Structure 1
């Protein structure tokens, strides 16, 4: 009697255990089916959340038709991503080859797209467009000035030359090049003797730019008599604009130059300046 009772209890427990184990594993189908809490989900199923009920549902993939599915629940799946590994040395050699090929392609494209320096130099040489140094430009301008003054005396061309020289003279090295090419005598002082007041103004402006904060040019101007020329203009010139530029040139040669200041005083510069300021036309 007791043995039969124990057998019955054992059968009952095994049945409950099997039923519980079956309930813990989700059995999928081709229709969306609710996943109960605590159930294990086999791999490879489509899973979604039903927005109406808020519960998870799962079903078999569409491409699987009437095939038996292994109802094996796995907590983790460790799949190998790479079945074949490329040796490191072989990989490095491949990368080097790719880089070298890219460099060669890039250099070939640059060669076809842009011309070399020698080619450009030859073409510019045929067009006579070789770039010039500032000293060469100054020399050409001085030569052009001499041609204009000794020939047709085209006042417009002379004014343009003086403006170009004044622009270049703001650089200290260019101003020294102008002095070394005898520009004061051939251009500046020669222009001060012209009757055109605009040419005189441009010449005085050029003189001031040359000597501005340039001790070497200040010394050259003093030695070649620029103070006497400026005082003569301030004394004899009637045009106010010319006198105004003469005062500017005078300030450029006197600034921080005691020897020039001494010569200015010795040549009666103080009395000349006082008369300029007393003149009603200059007020």
Structure 2
């Protein structure tokens, strides 16, 4: 794990210093003693800041310490933040009082007036005051914003070196992307990344590099930034991000790059009707369908089938569910999603994909499960009339079913694996019955 990842996991970096020299020797005891300003102290002591007085204190190390209470922040070289206030009452003695206090908390929201708010503010130190005191004691608190600023600077310094082909530089860049991706999982951090011009300074330059690994990293980072984040989606859309993603997906021949591109593109258009209208045009669909004919792994092609199935189901829910507000329903209706899919012959196109990739689906039950679930999810909504009259489509489903039947006997000694295969078999059986309104035939009827 990188040092930046440690920052992210703890948000607290503790550093120890013995202070500046002083002619007076500090004699430590078992009790806490205040350390005069500029006083040098021996190594191997407990050191803390007393948050009540704001002063630094020190004492000898305890032989055994199982304390769990503290009103201070203390440090020992190599030990991180510890708890050393042994004069506090044991936690258990206050347990009943704590329970009573919790029960008395009012259920309704309350607001402080200005006078009460001022009293509270005067009673406690501000974040800036605490940060300054910790800085004076060589204790540094780094916020997510501080860390992001450091990562931006680190990225730009590496970029200016122009040695991106070196393995050491590649590894360093990958670490920066890894740490940024961890940060932007939080919505506020993702917005800050965009406000700091991260798309312009980091994402776009990385997408234009010949290094495929760097392009993949930037696409994954971009997909994480906009995942379930409406403000970030709008910001990316305003930067023509959707068009750029479609172009990258269409131009690439690398499995991992296309997969990362679809991850980002899917996160952009999901739950975003306006982006669906602007991007999922006949031309946009043609760029996605091009991937189905590329020499890339089947799992990437299945992603496109699943994405379109998810969009159709969201669309149908928005138009028919009683709990959807009128504005949302109107926005989805304006996309004309089903009409455009009919126009680009999606149902015959995906049927052709299913039939031509039957051998690969037979070999991978997980992909078979994904495809069957995706197709079944939109069958009644969009494609029932096409698939229900196609004997080859029915035959492909039955081939999958029979192969799973054969493999089920091989998994008899593995209950969990056998249950998973049974679930897929059940889905296929139901799908066939829904399409053709009759029971699934026996093997000898195929």
User: Under TM normalisation by the shorter chain, which class is it?
Assistant: 0.5 to 0.7
Q: What displacement does 1:147 show?
A: 1.1
Q: What displacement does 1:245 show?
A: 0.6
Q: Does residue 168 of the first structure (1) align with residue 197 of the second (2)? A: no
Cα distance per residue 1:3-30 (max 9 Å; x no partner): xxxxxxxxxxxxxxxxxxxxxxxxxxxx
Is the contact made by 2:253 and 2:295 (CA closer than 8 Å) also made in structure 1? no
Q: Would the alpha carbon gap of residues 268 and 244 (structure 1) be closer, same or farther in structure 2, given more than 3 Å must change?
A: same
Q: Does residue 147 of the first structure (1) align with residue 157 of the second (2)? A: yes
Q: Does residue 159 of the first structure (1) align with residue 174 of the second (2)? A: yes
| 1:271 paired residue number | 286
Which stretch has the larger CA shift, 143-152 or 159-168? 143-152
| 2:362 paired residue number | none
Is the contact made by 1:228 and 1:267 (CA closer than 8 Å) also made in structure 2? no
Q: Would the alpha carbon gap of residues 127 and 275 (structure 1) be closer, same or farther in structure 2, given more than 3 Å must change?
A: farther
Q: What displacement does 1:123 show?
A: 8.8
Q: Would the alpha carbon gap of residues 127 and 204 (structure 1) be closer, same or farther in structure 2, given more than 3 Å must change?
A: farther
Report the 3-state secondary structure (helix = DSSP H, G, I; strand = E; otherwise coil) of the residue aligned with 1:130: strand
| 2:324 paired residue number | none
TM-score (norm 1): 0.57
Q: What displacement does 1:127 show?
A: 7.8
Cα distance per residue 1:18-57 (max 9 Å; x no partner): xxxxxxxxxxxxxxxxxxxxxxxxxxxxxxxxxxxxxxxx
| 1:242 paired residue number | 257
TM-score (norm 2): 0.37
Matches within 5 A, 1:110-259: 115=48, 116-117=50-51, 118=54, 119=56, 125=135, 129-151=139-161, 152-153=163-164, 154-259=169-274
Cα distance per residue 1:73-121 (max 9 Å; x no partner): xxxxxxxxxxxxxxxxxxxxxxxxxxxxxxxxxxx95668662244367
Mind listing any 5+ residue stretches in structure 2 that lack a counterpart?
A: 1-29, 35-45, 57-72, 74-130, 299-446
Alpha-carbon distance between aligned partners in 1 of 2:277 and 2:149, rounded to the nearest angstrom: 33
Cα distance per residue 1:176-205 (max 9 Å; x no partner): 111110111111111111111111111111
Report the 3-state secondary structure (helix = DSSP H, G, I; strand = E; otherwise coil) of the residue aligned with 2:140: coil
Q: Would the alpha carbon gap of residues 128 and 142 (structure 1) be closer, same or farther in structure 2, given more than 3 Å must change?
A: farther
Alpha-carbon distance between aligned partners in 1 of 2:148 and 2:222, rounded to the nearest angstrom: 15
Mind listing any 5+ residue stretches in structure 1 that lack a counterpart?
A: 1-107
Q: What displacement does 1:125 show?
A: 2.9
Alpha-carbon distance between aligned partners in 2 of 1:128 and 1:163, rounded to the nearest angstrom: 28
Number of aligned positions between the proteins: 176
Is the contact made by 1:276 and 1:282 (CA closer than 8 Å) also made in structure 2? no
Report the 3-state secondary structure (helix = DSSP H, G, I; strand = E; otherwise coil) of the residue aligned with 2:266: helix
Alpha-carbon distance between aligned partners in 2 of 1:267 and 1:222, rounded to the nearest angstrom: 19
Alpha-carbon distance between aligned partners in 1 of 2:282 and 2:147, rounded to the nearest angstrom: 36
Alpha-carbon distance between aligned partners in 1 of 2:137 and 2:253, rounded to the nearest angstrom: 49
Q: Would the alpha carbon gap of residues 177 and 128 (structure 1) be closer, same or farther in structure 2, given more than 3 Å must change?
A: farther
Alpha-carbon distance between aligned partners in 2 of 1:156 and 1:267, rounded to the nearest angstrom: 40
Alpha-carbon distance between aligned partners in 2 of 1:157 and 1:238, rounded to the nearest angstrom: 26
Q: Would the alpha carbon gap of residues 148 and 114 (structure 1) be closer, same or farther in structure 2, given more than 3 Å must change?
A: closer
Alpha-carbon distance between aligned partners in 2 of 1:133 and 1:143, rounded to the nearest angstrom: 16
Alpha-carbon distance between aligned partners in 2 of 1:259 and 1:214, rounded to the nearest angstrom: 15
Q: Would the alpha carbon gap of residues 141 and 176 (structure 1) be closer, same or farther in structure 2, given more than 3 Å must change?
A: same
Q: Would the alpha carbon gap of residues 136 and 114 (structure 1) be closer, same or farther in structure 2, given more than 3 Å must change?
A: closer
